[in-house]
Structure 1
Amino acid sequence: MAKPMILTVDDDPQVLQAIARDLRKEYGDRFRILRADSGAAALEAIKELKLRNETVALFLADQRMPQMTGVEFLEQAIAIFPEAKRALLTAYADTDAAIAAINKTSINYYLTKPWDPPEERLYPILNDLLDDWFASYRPPFEGTRVIGHRWSPNSHKIKDFLARNHVPYQWLDIERDQEAQELVNYSGVDNAELPLVILPDGERLVKPSNIEIAAKVGLQTQAKQPFYDLAIVGGGPAGLAAAVYGASEGLRTVMIEREAPGGQAGTSSRIENYLGFPIGLSGADLARRGVTQAKRFGVEILTPQEVAGIRTNGNYRYALLKDGSEIACHALILAMGVSWRRLNVPGIEKLTGRGVYYGAAMTEAMECSNEKVYIVGGANSAGQAAMHFSKYAQQVHMLVRGDDLGKGMSQYLVDQIGATENIIVQLNSSVVEVKGEESLEALTILNNVTGEQETVPANSLFIFIGAVPHTDWLDGIVERDERGFILTGPDLIKDGKRPKGWNVDRDPYLLETSVPGIFAVGDVHHGSVKRVASGVGEGSICVSFVHQYLAKVL
Structure 2
Amino acid sequence: MSTTTGNKTSAPVAASFPRHEQTFPALTSQEIARMRRFGAIANYKDGEKLFETGKPGPGMFVILSGHVAITQRDGLGHVTPVIEQGPGQFLAEIGQLSGRVALVDGEAEGEVETLLIPPERLRALLVAEADLGERIMRALILRRVNLIQAGAGGPVLIGPSNSGGVIRLRGFLTRNGSPHHLLDPATDHDAAELIVRYSPSQTDWPLVVIPDGTVLRNPSESELARAMGMIRALAKDRVYDVAVVGSGPAGLSTAVYAASEGLSVAVCDARSFGGQAGASARIENYLGFPTGISGLALTARAYNQAQKFGADMMIPVAVKSLDCSREDGAFGLTLDDGEVLRARSIVVASGARYRRPEIGNLADFEGRGVWYWASPIEARLCSEQDAVLVGGGNSAGQAAVFLSGYARRVHMVIRGGGLGASMSRYLIERIEATPNIELVFNTEVVELDGTKEQSLERLRWRSRLSGEESSYDTRNLFLFVGADPATGWLDGCGVMVDRGGFVVTGAQCKKARGDLASALETSVPGVFAVGDVRSGSVKRVGGAIGEGAQVVAALHHFLGDAQKPAL
Q: Normalising TM by the smaller chain, what interval?
A: 0.7 to 0.9
Which residue does 1:243 correspond to in 2?
255
Please say if residues 352 and 483 of structure 2, whose CA atoms lie closer than 8 Å, have aligned partners that are also in contact: yes
1:547 aligns with 2:556: yes
Partner letter of residue 399 of structure 1? V
Which residue does 2:168 correspond to in 1?
157
Following TM superposition, by how much is the alpha carbon of 1:317 offset from its aligned partner in structure 2, in angstroms? 1.2
Q: 1:12-51: CA deviations, max 9, x gaps?
A: xxxxxxxxxxxxxxx98779xxxxxxxxxxxxxxxx9992
Please say if residues 9 and 80 of structure 2, whose CA atoms lie closer than 8 Å, have aligned partners that are also in contact: no
Q: Let me know the Cα RMSD of the aligned residues.
A: 2.6
Following TM superposition, by how much is the alpha carbon of 1:203 offset from its aligned partner in structure 2, in angstroms? 3.5
2:292 match: secondary structure? coil
Match of 1:265 among 277, 301, 305: 277
Following TM superposition, by how much is the alpha carbon of 1:198 offset from its aligned partner in structure 2, in angstroms? 2.2
Which residue does 1:12 correspond to in 2?
none
Following TM superposition, by how much is the alpha carbon of 1:219 offset from its aligned partner in structure 2, in angstroms? 2.1
Deviates more, 1:331-340 or 1:430-439: 430-439
Which residue does 2:389 correspond to in 1?
375
1:404 match: secondary structure? coil
Taking the aligned partners of 1:448 and 1:376, their CA distance within structure 2 comes to: 14
Taking the aligned partners of 1:523 and 1:49, their CA distance within structure 2 comes to: 40
Partner letter of residue 443 of structure 1? L
1:489 aligns with 2:500: no
Match of 1:441 among 454, 457, 472: 457
Following TM superposition, by how much is the alpha carbon of 1:463 offset from its aligned partner in structure 2, in angstroms? 0.1
Q: 1:519 to 1:180 in 2, by over 3 A?
A: farther
Please say if residues 387 and 417 of structure 1, whose CA atoms lie closer than 8 Å, have aligned partners that are also in contact: yes
Partner letter of residue 484 of structure 1? G
What aligned pairs does 1:134-533 form with structure 2 within 5 A after superposition?
A: 142=152, 143-149=154-160, 152-173=163-184, 177-179=187-189, 182-185=192-195, 187-192=197-202, 193-224=204-235, 226-311=238-323, 312-314=325-327, 315-438=329-452, 439-477=455-493, 478-493=495-510, 497-499=511-513, 506-533=515-542
Partner letter of residue 300 of structure 1? D
Following TM superposition, by how much is the alpha carbon of 1:160 offset from its aligned partner in structure 2, in angstroms? 1.6
Taking the aligned partners of 2:368 and 2:222, their CA distance within structure 1 comes to: 22
Taking the aligned partners of 1:509 and 1:331, their CA distance within structure 2 comes to: 14
Taking the aligned partners of 2:74 and 2:220, their CA distance within structure 1 comes to: 25
Q: 1:296-355: CA deviations, max 9, x gaps?
A: 000000011011111132432111112111111111111000000111121111111110
Partner letter of residue 264 of structure 2? R
1:398 match: secondary structure? strand
From the CA coordinates, give the structure whose radius of gyration is larger. Answer: 1
Taking the aligned partners of 1:5 and 1:289, their CA distance within structure 2 comes to: 35
Following TM superposition, by how much is the alpha carbon of 1:289 offset from its aligned partner in structure 2, in angstroms? 0.3
Q: 1:481 to 1:6 in 2, by over 3 A?
A: closer
Q: 1:235 to 1:55 in 2, by over 3 A?
A: closer
Following TM superposition, by how much is the alpha carbon of 1:223 offset from its aligned partner in structure 2, in angstroms? 3.0
What aligned pairs does 1:37-76 form with structure 2 within 5 A after superposition?
A: 51-54=76-79
Which residue does 1:75 correspond to in 2?
none
Partner letter of residue 326 of structure 2? N
Q: 1:428 to 1:179 in 2, by over 3 A?
A: farther
Q: What TM-score does the superposition give when structure 2 sets the normalisation length?
A: 0.71
Taking the aligned partners of 1:53 and 1:400, their CA distance within structure 2 comes to: 49
Partner letter of residue 313 of structure 1? R
Taking the aligned partners of 2:264 and 2:80, their CA distance within structure 1 comes to: 45
What aligned pairs does 1:87-106 form with structure 2 within 5 A after superposition?
A: none
Aligned residue-pair number: 428
Taking the aligned partners of 2:560 and 2:355, their CA distance within structure 1 comes to: 40
Following TM superposition, by how much is the alpha carbon of 1:155 offset from its aligned partner in structure 2, in angstroms? 2.9
Q: 1:431 to 1:53 in 2, by over 3 A?
A: farther
2:345 match: secondary structure? strand
Following TM superposition, by how much is the alpha carbon of 1:424 offset from its aligned partner in structure 2, in angstroms? 1.2
Q: 1:363-389: CA deviations, max 9, x gaps?
A: 211122111111000111111111111
Taking the aligned partners of 1:254 and 1:453, their CA distance within structure 2 comes to: 50
Partner letter of residue 199 of structure 1? I
Q: What TM-score does the superposition give when structure 1 sets the normalisation length?
A: 0.72
Following TM superposition, by how much is the alpha carbon of 1:220 offset from its aligned partner in structure 2, in angstroms? 3.3
Q: 1:69-122: CA deviations, max 9, x gaps?
A: xxxxxxxxxxxxxxxxxxxxxxxxxxxxxxxxxxxxxxxxxxxxxxxxxxxxxx
Partner letter of residue 458 of structure 1? T
Following TM superposition, by how much is the alpha carbon of 1:208 offset from its aligned partner in structure 2, in angstroms? 1.6
Partner letter of residue 484 of structure 2? V
1:365 match: secondary structure? helix
Deviates more, 1:316-325 or 1:144-153: 144-153
2:170 match: secondary structure? helix
Following TM superposition, by how much is the alpha carbon of 1:446 offset from its aligned partner in structure 2, in angstroms? 1.1
1:343 match: secondary structure? coil
Please say if residues 419 and 428 of structure 2, whose CA atoms lie closer than 8 Å, have aligned partners that are also in contact: yes
1:305 match: secondary structure? coil
Partner letter of residue 144 of structure 1? P
Q: 1:382 to 1:242 in 2, by over 3 A?
A: same
Taking the aligned partners of 2:475 and 2:9, their CA distance within structure 1 comes to: 51
Q: 1:151 to 1:366 in 2, by over 3 A?
A: closer
Partner letter of residue 498 of structure 2? D
Q: 1:154-175: CA deviations, max 9, x gaps?
A: 333212211110112233455x
1:238 match: secondary structure? helix
Deviates more, 1:142-151 or 1:401-410: 142-151
Taking the aligned partners of 1:520 and 1:336, their CA distance within structure 2 comes to: 9
Q: Extract unaligned runs of 5+ from structure 2.
A: 13-72, 82-148
Following TM superposition, by how much is the alpha carbon of 1:52 offset from its aligned partner in structure 2, in angstroms? 3.4
Following TM superposition, by how much is the alpha carbon of 1:144 offset from its aligned partner in structure 2, in angstroms? 2.8
